[in-house]
Amino acid sequence: MHDPKPHISLRWDIFCRVIDNFGDIGVCWRLAAGLAQLGQQVRLWTDDASALSWMAPKSALGVTVMQWRESMDFRSICPGDVLVEAFGCEIAHEFIASYASYISTRGQQCFWINLEYLSAESYAEHCHTLPSPVMTGPGAGLVKHFFYPGFTPATGGLLRERDLLQRQSQFDRANWLTDLGIDWQDKRLISLFCYEPCALDALFDHLANDTIPSCLLITAGRARAFCNALIANKNRLQSLWNKHEALSFFYLPPLTQTDFDHLLWACDLNFVRGEDSLVRALWAGKPLVWQIYPQDDGAHAGKLHAFLNLLQAKTSLRDFHHVWNGLRSNAQLPSLDMQIWQKTIQQARQKLLQQDDLASTLIRFVSKNH
């Protein structure tokens, strides 16, 4: 790994639109905080900062959250040195014009980063840091650079705080669970952060009939709403489906990003969705099942397969992911193969820890071209 300490301290403007599920703002907040942890000054511009009130209530030194409105007058705002356009959010033309004027007046090089979505597919390596000249609009003549988070040294890496491993080693699982009021003794703990997987019904039946008692820790939002509806329907149609009470449920409050990490560290198996939670589950080093965001054109299937290939996943983990993600609609949900899955994730985690984190690679890219 390279030395993560930055060579220069710069001012960064990160722009983020909240589309749905708060995944984008979660990633951008972690990136902003990571950059600040490495000595950078960051403004995070977002059109909806509401989720940060529970996601990151303590804020972060070096990060300022700015409200991004459609009709803003950016003329009085001095741009930073680096402009990050997260996930194709299309920065306001007025700000781009101010940035172009700012760097031209000072003779500075353009650092306009197009931060892309995470993928294990080969294009992430091929397209990482490629230049994209801007031909029209207020930024005409400037050059964007694509920046791809990823799972290999040829990409931008993954978000990872400098103190992550230290915090993980000091985590008191028993106290954290007890403080939340979770009955955890002699139970397999499973976190559930999902959309609405059709296979959840089958998972409930599997856990209810298992010889190992399980407690499902259900996150707030869509997972909770879907579970409530499913449980009510099962109770109505098949009242004895959980007659031995081998499966219990605990509904979690909205968790800060720190406590979401704690949840993943505390559980024996983690069901996660989207990109940010996938990365956090990898760092947790526990068996995981990923529900990828479904796309109408089916592109998510290739993205999932690339990730499973990266893991060198065994058949049981591949089959479970395929059914969980609705790619085999008529197939039965396979049994949990915890020992094999644990080994797979641990091996992947060890490799990923040898690579630089996303914030460090961003700083290095800008520093070497500054």
Catalytic (active site) residue 24? yes
How many C-beta neighbours within 10 Å does residue 316 have?
16
Strands annotated E in 184-275? 188-192, 214-218, 247-251, 269-273
Out of 13, 24, 85, 319, the active site residue is 24
Catalytic (active site) residue 275? yes
Do residues 145 and 115 touch, judged by C-beta distance below 8 A?
A: no
Strands annotated E in 10-111? 11-16, 41-46, 63-67, 82-86
Contacts of residue 62, defined as CB under 8 A and 6 or more positions apart, other chains included, come to 35, 36, 37, 39, 40, 41, 42
Out of 13, 116, 275, 276, the active site residue is 275
How far is it, in rounded angstroms, from Cα 17 to Cα 244?
A: 46
Name the residue among 77, 127, 69, 121 with its Cα closest to residue 102: 77
Burial 334-350 (b: 16+ CB within 10 A, else e): bebbeeebbebbeebee
Contacts of residue 150, defined as CB under 8 A and 6 or more positions apart, other chains included, come to 118, 119, 120, 124, 125, 128, 156, 157, 158
Active site amino acids: 24, 275
